[in-house]
Structure 1
Amino acid sequence: MSRKQQRGEATAEQLLDAALRVYAEAGDQGLTVGAVTKASGVSLGSLYHHFGSIDGLLNALLLRWLGRLLDELVEALRGTRTAHTGIRALVTAYLGFVQEHREAALLLHSSYADRAGMADGRRLRDAQEARLSPLAAWARTYVASGELAPLPPALIESLILGPVIGISRRWLSGVDDVDLDEAAVILPERIWRSVAAEPNREPYGRT
């Protein structure tokens, strides 16, 4: 990589880091070109050169942190040997990420992220395909082995991550009745009951 390319990457990183700080302090309404250039010390021209617009910058920031979250979930599964322990690892990793990266978690669980997912969900998933594939393969493996219920992959994903996302949103909103450490102990068993295979149960959808 040339020095020019290295400088370009460093500038893009500065802008992304500054955008996250501004977003955490002021939300998406406060994430303006002026606020980001002031916080980063990077010129307006550089911002437009690297990201095209403030929306382009915010989309890049969202993809950056979604990728990091998915990387941590995939890594958490590597050391597990059963579906049961895999679910515990996923829940623990997700909630740990939210606690460790609160600013990024605010963005990932924001109304902006929801709107982006609704408007362009397929593109977002396609952009993360390399990271999502191991998670899907994990679920298929344990459905095939009979440990997970024979449910469609999208339902398994929702049953596992839905409660975790919900409790994360509640904690991030500032509600003081949520203890993520306690949730990391309780949720895995509750989730396991919802996705564990039932003996002699036919796959859903079959008659």
Structure 2
Amino acid sequence: MSPKQQRGEVTADLLLQAALRVFVEQGEQKVTVNAVCQASGVSLGSLYHHFGSIDGLFVALGHRWLGRMLEELTGSLVGARDARSGIEAVVAAYLRFTQEHRDAALFLHSSYAERYGWAQGRAIRDAQEARLSPVAAWLDPLVAAGEIAPLPQPLVESLILGPVVAVARRWLAGYGDVDLDEAARVLPDRIWQALRP
């Protein structure tokens, strides 16, 4: 990689970090090109050069963190011995990611990310499916072997991730009534009850 490319990557990374920081500290309404440039120390021209717009910057931010989260989820399945241990691993990985990367999780679970997801539904779904192919590769043989109820894959994914996402959102909202460690212990068994054949 050339020095110019390295500088470009550093600049893009500064902008992404600043965008997340502004989003978390000041809220979605305060995320402007000027606020991100001021927080990053990067020029307006550089933001437009790398991302095209503030929306382009947040699209890149979403892809970055969604990619990291999905990598952790798929990586958690490597040592799974069976369907139940895989569910435990995925639940634990999701909740651990939420706790360890709270700011990114706030963004990924935000109304902004949700609105973007609906507007860019097909593109996001295609990107997620590519990243989730290891999960599908893990699930399909389990369904075929009768270890998991024979449901369409989107329903299986929803039964696994739906409760976990709801708990993560509640914890991120700061209600103070959700313990992620307890959820990691309790949810896998409840999810397994819904998925077992």
Q: TM-score, normalised by structure 2?
A: 0.98
Q: Deviations over 1:46-81 (max 9, x none)?
A: 000000000110111011000000000011001111
Report the CA distance between 1:125 and its aligned residue. Answer: 2.1
Match of 2:148 in 1: 148
Match of 2:34 in 1: 34
Report the CA distance between 1:129 and its aligned residue. Answer: 3.7
In structure 1, what is the Cα distance between the partners aligned to 2:85 and 2:180?
Answer: 19
Match of 2:80 in 1: 80
Instruction: Report the AA paired with residue 186 of structure 2.
Output: I
Match of 2:184 in 1: 184
After superposing on structure 2, the runs of 4+ consecutive aligned residues of structure 1 that deviate more than 6 Å are none
In structure 2, what is the Cα distance between the partners aligned to 1:133 and 1:194?
Answer: 22
1:100 aligns with 2:100: yes
Q: Map 1:159-174 to 2 at 5 A.
A: 159-174=159-174
In structure 1, what is the Cα distance between the partners aligned to 2:128 and 2:15?
Answer: 22
Report the CA distance between 1:141 and its aligned residue. Answer: 1.5
Q: Deviations over 1:126-165 (max 9, x none)?
A: 2234311111111112101110000000000000000000
Q: Deviations over 1:12-35 (max 9, x none)?
A: 011001111111112221111111
Aligned partner of residue 120 in structure 2, secondary structure: helix
Instruction: Report the AA paired with residue 40 of structure 2.
Output: S
- Tell me how many residue pairs correspond in the alignment: 197
Deviating more after overlay: 21-30 vs 154-163: 21-30
Q: Give the % identical residues.
A: 66
Instruction: Report the AA paired with residue 126 of structure 2.
Output: D
Aligned partner of residue 128 in structure 1, secondary structure: helix
In structure 1, what is the Cα distance between the partners aligned to 2:141 and 2:42?
Answer: 47
Unaligned residue ranges in structure 2 (runs of 5+)? none
In structure 2, what is the Cα distance between the partners aligned to 1:126 and 1:6?
Answer: 29
In structure 2, what is the Cα distance between the partners aligned to 1:141 and 1:115?
Answer: 34
Unaligned residue ranges in structure 1 (runs of 5+)? 198-207
